[in-house]
A and B are shown apart, each in its own frame.
Chain A
Amino acid sequence: EAGVTQSPTHLIKTRGQQATLRCSPISGHTSVYWYQQALGLGLQFLLWYDEGEERNRGNFPPRFSGRQFPNYSSELNVNALELEDSALYLCASSNKQGGEAFFGQGTRLTVV
């Protein structure tokens, strides 16, 4: 069974541009979580989607947004990129019954 997959693995953008990161959850999982991990720092919760709706949001500005598609895959968009947005962006999925969440290997975004 395939795990959580994220694409691309690496992304380089210029300050002010937009970045789009993608996540495919484990088959049967309806919840997708997004986290940001800046270099040397901890995981910061960004967004949680379930059944196509945003269920919870972390303390991030509105230029961080996303959506979840009918097949439960998800997209994270970061607008007006700033240098401090450079980080590893992690996606996790879980099923509707709760329990453990499983993480992908992340997208490393570098803003130059």
Chain B
Amino acid sequence: DAKTTQPPSMDCAEGRAANLPCNHSTISGNEYVYWYRQIHSQGPQYIIHGLKNNETNEMASLIITEDRKSSTLILPHATLRDTAVYYCIVRVSNYGQNFVFGPGTRLSVLP
């Protein structure tokens, strides 16, 4: 079973920041938080991952709370092409575990 809880759906206005929350209250000390997204009927796309420090790349920022029990994925300027299902996954990063996907959050970016 997935170790994360996400809201089933969210809306965001185009050009605004999209903030997608994820709860992972049972996360272990060696588990990373990964984010993927899946645009309709395509393969999931890797977005970002982190352990305890905040991370930023060209796609998004990942904010992890100090107790690591929750995190937020931030898309700074959402576009219509960001409409997708976003998955938050916790996983030990080193060799040895598959990714367990939950139902994710369906983000709709509205014009």
Contact = CB atoms under 8 A, between A and B. Distances in A.
Given A45-B99, A56-B98, A96-B95, A105 B46 contact: no
Interface residues of A, number: 27
Contacts of B98: 33, 45, 48, 56, 58
A101 B35 CA distance: 11
Interface of A: 4, 31, 33, 35, 42-43, 45, 48, 50, 55-56, 58, 88, 90, 92, 96-106, 108
A48 B97 CA distance: 9
Contact of B49 (A4, A96, A99, A108): A99
B96 interface: yes
Interface residues of B, number: 20
Contact of A97 (B34, B44, B46, B94): B94
B43 interface: yes
Contacts of A4: 43
Contact of A98 (B45, B96, B101): B96
B99 A33 contact: yes
A48 B43 CA distance: 17
A42 B49 contact: no
Q: Which of A45, A88, A98, A102 has the most CB of B within 10 A?
A: A98
Nearest to A47: B98
A105 B95 contact: no
Contact of A101 (B96, B99, B102, B103): B99
